[in-house]
Structure 1
Amino acid sequence: MSNTDFTIFSSTQLREFTTEVFVHFDVPYDDAILAADVLAYSDEHGIDSHGIARLKTYFDLLRTGKINPKPEIKIIREKSSTATIDGDNGLGLVVGPKCMDIAIQKAKLHGSGWVSVCNTNHYGAAGYYPVMALKDDIIGLSMTNTTKGVAPFNGAEKMLGTNPLAIAFPAYKEPPIIIDLASSAVAYGKVEIADRKNEKIPEGWCIDKNGYSTTMPSEMINGGALLPLGSDKDGSGHKGYCLASMVDILSAVLSGANWGPFTVPFAINSALPEKQVGKGIGHFFGAWEIDGFRDKNEFKTNIDEWIHTMRNTLPRPGTSGVLIPGDPEREAYQLRMRDGIPLHKEVVNSLMDIASYTGINIPS
């Protein structure tokens, strides 16, 4: 890819543009800032598949009235440390942070907080949410089910979403450990990026519409499916399938959202599933107070020691050595906050379409 395929924007420019777009569609200003923050987290940390590249889809869904810009988020069932919440078909970028905050507040009161959410929409990068808990030295957990795109182990059609999960642990002097992964072999957005760049994808990521392995992104996008983490029996693909099942059940079956192949698609032109078995898609959030298990500072010091031990691992030949979960995103953040955020021309074109419709000036 040449440099002419990308345009550099500052984080501030993208945040302001995104906020204005949400406000244009009657999202309250504070909620618009919050939604923009979730998307900015991805762009600033190098998670290009979940940042402003997704704004066009949110734009389409808001424009056609398929997302409620002013949801009344309600607790529909609750005990001291648990709750189920109806997101009133709001932006997942707004519903998600508010529900994660409820989990955090429950953890402060009761030692742990667990929140399942139904009737919501795509919530951005899973890693955003456990990071919210770190400012209070709380361990955070987040997961969500997503539109079907992944074949179950030994299956040849889409039945599950990429169903990501994330968890974050605070450290003492070291940066926190932040684990954020899809339960599929790869996130769907990475296949989109490869297709956008006209590049092949690695073997083991996808199958075509006939169930055969493919390295062509278009063959997955047009009727194929992603594979679960591990891909096949040789890579222990059943483990990724089990992770995806866990996320689907905790996020959707537990909350009363749509699960499995009935999950509402996050795309304006996608056909709806044959039936609805719940309300919207689902999220699941967790938070733990460390003091409920051991002294907080001792734990954080041990996390530092854990990090030092892993970093000092003898590296495999031809590698740069062991990384700590969260390192690539931290490195991307430092570079992008200094040099700007590169957006592919197709993403820029989508922003231009939004600007043309709304009258909001696109960043220059």
Structure 2
Amino acid sequence: MTIQDRIQLRPHPLTELLARLLAAHGCSAEEAAHVARHLVEASRSGHDSHGIVRIRRYHDWLQSGQLVACAPFAQVADLGALMQFDGGDGLGQWAAHRATSAGMQRAQDQGAAVVLLRRAGHIGRVGAFAEQAAEKGIISLFFTNVAGSRLVAPFGAAERAASTAPVTVGVPQANGRHFILDFATSLVAEGKALVAAKSGGTLPGDALVDANGALTGNPAVLYGETLTAPTPNPRTGDGALRSFGGHKGSGLMLACELLGGALTGNGTNGPAGHRFGNGMFAVFIDPAHCDNPGGIAGEIAEYLAFVNALTPAQGHDAVRIPGDIERELRAARADSVPVAAAVWSDILAIADDVRLAVDQGSLLAAEPAGV
């Protein structure tokens, strides 16, 4: 985004506005506030693809019934070390937060826990749940899929066969500089293609593949004729996103479909059609139950400090660990968050649609110095 096609908004009033928009669709105050906060924090962390841009889709999905407000969150299995939950097609961030909380508590009680979550609406930035666990000293691992979202071509293919399928790992540090590895197994997340579509931009030239198998950075191959629609539909194009990292990244992507999709009961993106929703396979470990927990914490801290202290390569000002960039951006965006002008227009249109008055002056923030 350039300065000309974005505006700066104040995070707290924006969170309150998004919560009001969700509550207008029948969401409880608690779930609306949680999801709104998740969206704004994702954008503050630099992950616009999983942030404020998503509100238009949530609005449309809540209207159509694809997302269910106040959906039941049900525990369908409890085997001690393994728990399984059903999100009832509700707001995914709220379901994943609750499943993560249950897994953390079980890990604190008995050392480790496996959690399976199915039928959760879009759960957003999975790194947020790794951060949630890390804040309590819990190590976490997530394999996630998106059923009903066949968008990505595996290595060597020119056709779609998987979702963007993120992998996430969280390792806590006592100083709060947690190791948070969180990435889509597609070369770029679909939300980044959505941001490009909304801003009229392009993606890296090898991020997508067209119907003929040629590499391209044009999001039109993903969205087709809906590219300029208020809600571009990534299922209408005849091209695909590509998996990252050649055959290795493609293998991780397929593992997410098997673990996050098949094992959880959420469904994979194979020939059978499944309702849209996230499946999440998660493992939680409390190192306090392991031998010499202080030694574990010390080893983690020593190693990550060693990595941070390495000599930067040319073109880099520092060596960072996963999670550093997000923390730096959140600090820089404490008072204002950049939002594409088209997304702001969407927010105002949604507010008008649900008959909510918006005091625009209370939301607008100054452009940060030095931008």
- Provide the TM-score with structure 2 as the length reference: 0.88
Pick from 307, 312, 335: which aligns with 2:309?
A: 312
Offset at 1:246?
1.2
- Work out whether 1:246 is the aligned partner of 2:243: no
Structure 1 residue runs of 5 or longer lacking an equivalent are 231-236, 263-273
After superposition, the C-alpha distances for 1:146-201 in whole angstroms (9 at most, x for unaligned) are 22111011111111011012111111336111111111111122223233333333
1: CA distance, partners of 2:193 / 2:277:
25
Moved more, 191-200 or 202-211: 191-200
Whether the aligned pair in 1 keeps the contact of 2:122 and 2:277 (CA below 8 Å) is: no
Offset at 1:129?
0.6
Structure 2 residue runs of 5 or longer lacking an equivalent are 225-237, 361-371
Whether the aligned pair in 2 keeps the contact of 1:20 and 1:32 (CA below 8 Å) is: yes
Partner in structure 1 of residue 353 of structure 2? 357
2: CA distance, partners of 1:109 / 1:279:
34
After superposition, the C-alpha distances for 1:64-116 in whole angstroms (9 at most, x for unaligned) are 22222122211112211211111111111211111111111110111111111
Cα RMSD over matched residues?
1.9
Moved more, 306-315 or 130-139: 306-315
Amino acid paired to 1:341: V
Amino acid paired to 2:268: W
1: CA distance, partners of 2:161 / 2:290:
38
Moved more, 195-204 or 321-330: 195-204
| Alpha-carbon spacing, 1:9–1:255, altered in 2? closer, same or farther (3 Å) | same
Within 5 Å, give how 1:168-317 maps onto structure 2. Answer: 168-173=170-175, 175-222=177-224, 223-230=238-245, 237-261=246-270, 275-276=273-274, 280-317=277-314
Offset at 1:247?
1.2
Whether the aligned pair in 1 keeps the contact of 2:198 and 2:343 (CA below 8 Å) is: no
Offset at 1:57?
0.5
1: CA distance, partners of 2:222 / 2:276:
28
Amino acid paired to 2:136: D
Partner in structure 1 of residue 340 of structure 2? 344
Tell me the matched-pair count: 345
Offset at 1:280?
4.2
Moved more, 25-34 or 309-318: 309-318
After superposition, the C-alpha distances for 1:16-37 in whole angstroms (9 at most, x for unaligned) are 0111112111111112112222
| Alpha-carbon spacing, 1:279–1:211, altered in 2? closer, same or farther (3 Å) | closer
- Provide the TM-score with structure 1 as the length reference: 0.89
Offset at 1:252?
1.4
| Alpha-carbon spacing, 1:196–1:34, altered in 2? closer, same or farther (3 Å) | closer
Partner in structure 2 of residue 270 of structure 1? none
Whether the aligned pair in 2 keeps the contact of 1:310 and 1:322 (CA below 8 Å) is: yes
Amino acid paired to 1:205: A
- Work out whether 1:162 is the aligned partner of 2:125: no
Amino acid paired to 1:309: F
| Alpha-carbon spacing, 1:194–1:317, altered in 2? closer, same or farther (3 Å) | same
Amino acid paired to 2:188: V
- Work out whether 1:90 is the aligned partner of 2:90: yes
Amino acid paired to 2:251: C
Whether the aligned pair in 2 keeps the contact of 1:62 and 1:68 (CA below 8 Å) is: yes
Amino acid paired to 1:352: L
Offset at 1:279?
8.3
